[in-house]
Chains A and B, each alone.
Chain A
Amino acid sequence: MADTERDEKVAAGYRALRSEEPPRALDEAILTAARKRPSQWRVPLSIAAVLVLAVGVTLRMLPQRPEAESVALAPQVMQTPRPAASAPAPARELARPAAGAEAAAEVAAADALAESQMRSDIAAKPTSRASAAPAPAPAAAGVGAETNVPAGKMAKAELSPQAWLERIAELRKQGRTREAEESLAEFKKRYPDYRVPEPPR
């Protein structure tokens, strides 16, 4: 190399050190990759791109699903048996939001139980729950009447469809027509297939 100083002794010494070669397996791996035609690379790349898109779209949709499920299956959740002593606890918590941490934990545990049972119900019975005959109202259903919680909210959290309708009828009897109408509208939204009896004229 003419454009720099050259040290023959260093160069000769370095040449004596040069013995390493890549392992044969590495040679084979690289040569195999090189033999692949570009089209063989493009197909897996396109598949990967489609998969990434599909996963992305699915992930974007996921947050909406649990809501839809909980709306459709709300009555079934309420049919799950709970210990008699703890049954009214969630309702009490709704009435008194400043209650202690212990009660809050109980509510959370009950919710978790209900959710897990709801999910097993989904797996076992995928058909629409709303059109099925409603089960008798659980003990907790009547609690809402003793609290100041708005009927619509109470129904959303606690009541079976039948109990909800009874609650609406109760509101009407009490002359709370506006609340009854709002609650009924929410009921119809949630259980569109449920046959609602005409209110007494």
Chain B
Amino acid sequence: MLAYRRGEAGAFEALYARHKGPLYRFVLRSVKERALAEELYQEIWMRVIESRGRYAVQAKFTTWLYTIAHHRLADHWRKRGLQLVDAQGADAVGHRSFEPEPRAEGRQDLQRLAAALAALPELQRETFLLHEEAGMTLAEIALATGATQEAAKSRLRYALARLREALGDG
């Protein structure tokens, strides 16, 4: 990012190539509507581009990127009248217009896993995705989402329990 800030366009392309898939899936699985996901995904990258002049090395680029993504998604939920709250015992609500298509063997298991992931409360799903897609540690997740490390750990634990259950392993 520092190289990009200095004007090296190639540096951005390398960053983009590394993070585009995980960030896209993170947004897609968060909002579950492809068109909306694409819009938000583009906005997040635009913010990265616009903020390049203010970028300072305080954390990994990944943490910075997903902090921007977290704030953009929080704005989105706020506009839709939804709040991101911990709902550790509750069932998730909302429509599910996007379900990933399983492609490997054990199709039924994967379909159950996808459905369980889509049904997770927002914060638990976000934590799980930051962990699995972005490869972030609990400390990084806490930093990006503005939560305590304990809260992040708790969310991840609940998410994993539900997903294990969906795979018949609970």
Using CB atoms and an 8 Å cutoff, list the residues of chain A in contact with chain B: 1, 3-5, 7, 9-11, 13-23, 26-27, 29-31, 33-35, 37-38, 41
Give Cα distance in the complex from A102 to B38, angstroms. 59
- Kindly state whether residue B49 has any CB partner on chain A within 8 Å: yes
Give Cα distance in the complex from A17 to B49, angstroms. 30
Give Cα distance in the complex from A15 to B163, angstroms. 13
Check A5–B110 contact: CB distance below 8 A: no
Q: Which stretch (B59-67, B71-79, B89-97, B153-161) binds chain A?
A: B153-161
The interface on chain B, measured as residues whose beta carbon lies within 8 A of the other chain's beta carbons, has a size of 44
The distance from the CB of A61 to the nearest CB of chain B, in whole angstroms, is 34
Give residues of chain B (2-34) contacting chain A, Cβ–Cβ below 8 Å.
4, 7, 9, 12-13, 16, 20-21, 24-25, 28
Which chain B residues lie closer than 8 Å to A18 at the CB level?
A: 21, 25, 133
Give residues of chain B (121-144) contacting chain A, Cβ–Cβ below 8 Å.
131-133, 137-139
Question: Residue A34 contacts which of B12, B131, B153, B167 (CB distance < 8 angstroms)?
Answer: B12
Check A30–B117 contact: CB distance below 8 A: no
The distance from the CB of B98 to the nearest CB of chain A, in whole angstroms, is 9
Which chain A residues lie closer than 8 Å to B164 at the CB level?
A: 7, 9-10
Check A17–B167 contact: CB distance below 8 A: no
Select the residue from A15, A16, A26 with max chain B CB neighbours within 10 A. Answer: A16
Which chain A residues lie closer than 8 Å to B146 at the CB level?
A: none
Which chain B residues lie closer than 8 Å to A21 at the CB level?
A: 20-21, 24
Which chain A residues lie closer than 8 Å to B167 at the CB level?
A: 9-10, 13
5 A/B residue pairs, CB under 8 Å, sorted by A: A17-B102, A20-B21, A26-B42, A27-B16, A30-B42
Which chain B residues lie closer than 8 Å to A38 at the CB level?
A: 53
Question: Residue A31 contacts which of B12, B102, B104, B133 (CB distance < 8 angstroms)?
Answer: B12
